[in-house]
């Protein structure tokens, strides 16, 4: 089944009008209303005075009754440059006082997914890079390899060194196609001649090192590296003190390096100290991976995406702030975003940093010195919010441990959320066993007859505590 929407990349770069702006809906946020009625052909509308600030200033969508409307610009309480009937809805009339909702719609997900898939396809070699090198660790000796299918390199680094020798700094990526086998070596991408490179292991390649485990992959202080893509490979290490994987540039906290690190359908397994370290990189992504690591440290990075990935083995995820530096143009505000999957281990974020869990099971304690967001996620552990930190728990999320908010920290709850079968809302309503949160119930009727009993049964059923099958 094809994607619902088509990507612009690589023919063009998706802009803010394609990806849309958003604004958080937090406790105390007011849903704006229309100041006056609007007709199907109107190209602007006004909100009730003073409520326009609840919406972004440009390139966003609102939902009014059954119609979705794209808003190109908002000045004060006036929204203009509209596209009516957005995403196949029907332009309609709406009366004054109607709520103007700022919902997340399918387009937010579908557009981003299409663009990410197009980028991954391009980087993985499906767009046929013109420069392909072959590696086969089981090849027969006795001849000089040239990297062709008939004469492949015997090691991965032999192919990498050939790229360095070529001195080709063009943006067309090299593809290193690796035959099945176990490769006991370190993949070193530190040389400045490595610009764009993709490795394809076809689910049959394992990379590790012998003896005292050294770095399995490193790209240290390579400011020219644009992207490194690892597809369908297993990286096994442990026992040493050197980071198992290390990526960095020399760019300081006032900006981010341009390095993009992508792992797709890979296994990353290490029990060494400081197992996975990323510093001064623009973008890191794990997509459908299995990660076992003692320590994951993300420092001064623009963005890390983790899609449907299992992170286990007691991993300690540490996210350090970008030291006051600006986000790179085009990056989302969240520094580390988990979408789906499992995070088993402790999570710690420094002041100024941010982690968001979207549809994730988190098994372990969390410490928020920065911003921790939970969206339709469950945190099976304790949560500590220190001074300057915030734990933001949205609808559908919950936790099984305690939330400790120290002086100067904050804990916000938006929408309905719960623990197990108990669900309560930020407005003080309560529900049980999946029932929507309800207001406090009142039992009426005479105690001398059945009226009070019937009223009590109705109240308990409304809260979800019983199923009323009485006759």
What does the pLDDT read at residue 12? 65
Note the pLDDT of residue 381.
83
**β-pair partners for 38:** 94
pLDDT of residue 457: 84
d(CA 233, CA 267): 6
- Do 80 and 72 form a contact (C-beta atoms < 8 A)? yes
Tokens of 404: 């400790």
CATH of domain 23-103: 2.40.30
The answer to whether 150 and 133 are in contact (CB under 8 A) is no
CB 302 within 8 A of CB 323: no
pLDDT at 114: 82
pLDDT value at residue 143: 62
Tell how strand 347-349 and strand 316-320 pair up: parallel
Cα–Cα distance for residue pair 262/198, rounded to 1 Å: 9
Q: What is the pLDDT of residue 96?
A: 93
pLDDT in tens, 35-93: 999 999 999 999 999 999 999 999 999 999 999 999 999 999 999 999 999 988 999 99
User: What residues does 463 pair with on adjacent strands?
Assistant: none
Task: Yes or no: say if 292 and 268 are a contact pair by the CB < 8 Å rule.
Answer: yes
pLDDT-flagged residues of the chain (< 50): 1, 125-129, 211-213, 241, 252-256, 321-334, 417-420, 426
User: Of 327, 376, 323, 374, which Cα lies nearest the Cα of 347?
Assistant: 374
Please report where in the chains the tokens 């969390």 appear, as a residue: 366
Second CATH level (architecture) for the domain 125-345? 3 Solenoid (2.160)
DSSP alpha helix (H) spans, 79-135: 106-124
Domain-wise residue ranges, the chain:
23-103, 125-345, 441-471
The predicted model scores a pTM of 0.59
Of 302, 168, 161, nearest to 224 (Cα)? 168
Size (the chain), residues: 471
What pLDDT, on a 0 to 100 scale, did the predictor assign at position 391? 85
Tell me, what's the pLDDT at 332? 37
Distances from the Cα of 112 to the Cα of 4, 108, 266, 317, 354, angstroms: 11, 7, 22, 25, 20
Cα–Cα distance between 270 and 78 in angstroms, integer? 55
């Amino acid at each position: 089944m094809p994607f619902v929407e088509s990507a612009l990349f690589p023919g063009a770069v998706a802009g803010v009008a394609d990806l849309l702006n958003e604004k958080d809906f937090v406790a105390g946020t007011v849903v704006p209303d229309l100041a006056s009625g609007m007709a199907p052909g109107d190209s602007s509308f006004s909100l009730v005075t003073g409520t326009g600030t609840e919406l972004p200033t440009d390139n966003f969508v609102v939902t009014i009754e059954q119609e979705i409307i794209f808003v190109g610009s908002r000045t004060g309480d006036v929204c203009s440059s509209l596209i009516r009937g957005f995403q196949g809805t029907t332009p309609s009339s709406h009366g004054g006082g109607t709520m103007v909702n700022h919902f997340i719609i399918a387009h937010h997900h579908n557009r981003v997914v299409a663009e990410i898939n197009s980028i991954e396809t391009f980087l993985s070699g499906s767009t046929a890079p013109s420069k392909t090198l072959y590696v086969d660790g089981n090849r027969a000796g006795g001849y000089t390899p040239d990297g062709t299918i008939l004469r492949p390199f015997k090691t991965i680094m032999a192919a990498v060194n050939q790229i360095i020798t070529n001195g080709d700094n063009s943006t067309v990526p090299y593809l290193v196609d690796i035959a099945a086998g176990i490769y006991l070596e370190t993949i070193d991408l530190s040389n400045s001649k490595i610009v764009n490179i993709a490795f394809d292991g076809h689910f049959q390649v394992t990379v590790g090192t012998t003896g005292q485990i050294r770095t399995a992959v490193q790209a240290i202080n390579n400011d020219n590296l644009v992207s490194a893509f690892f597809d369908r490979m297993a990286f096994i290490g442990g026992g040493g003190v050197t980071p198992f994987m290390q990526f960095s540039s020399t760019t300081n906290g006032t900006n981010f390096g341009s390095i993009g690190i992508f792992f797709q359908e890979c296994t990353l397994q290490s029990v060494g100290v400081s197992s996975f370290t990323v510093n001064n990189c623009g973008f890191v992504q794990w997509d459908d991976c299995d990660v076992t690591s003692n320590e994951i440290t993300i420092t001064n990075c623009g963005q890390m995406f983790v899609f449907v990935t299992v992170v286990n083995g007691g991993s300690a995820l540490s996210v350090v702030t970008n030291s006051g530096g600006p986000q790179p143009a085009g990056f989302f505000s969240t520094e580390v975003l988990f979408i789906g999957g499992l995070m088993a281990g402790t999570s710690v974020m420094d002041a100024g940093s941010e982690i968001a869990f979207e549809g994730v099971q988190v098994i372990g304690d969390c410490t928020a010195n920065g911003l921790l967001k939970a969206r339709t996620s469950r945190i099976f552990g304790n949560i500590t919010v220190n001074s300057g930190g915030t734990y933001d728990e949205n609808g559908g999320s919950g936790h099984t441990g305690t939330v400790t908010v120290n002086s100067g920290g904050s804990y916000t709850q938006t929408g309905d959320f719960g623990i197990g079968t108990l669900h309560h809302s930020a407005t003080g309503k309560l529900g049980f066993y999946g029932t929507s949160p309800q207001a406090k119930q009142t039992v009426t009727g005479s105690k001398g007859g059945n009226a009070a009993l019937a009223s009590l049964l109705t109240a308990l059923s409304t809260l979800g505590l019983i199923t009323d099958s009485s006759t």
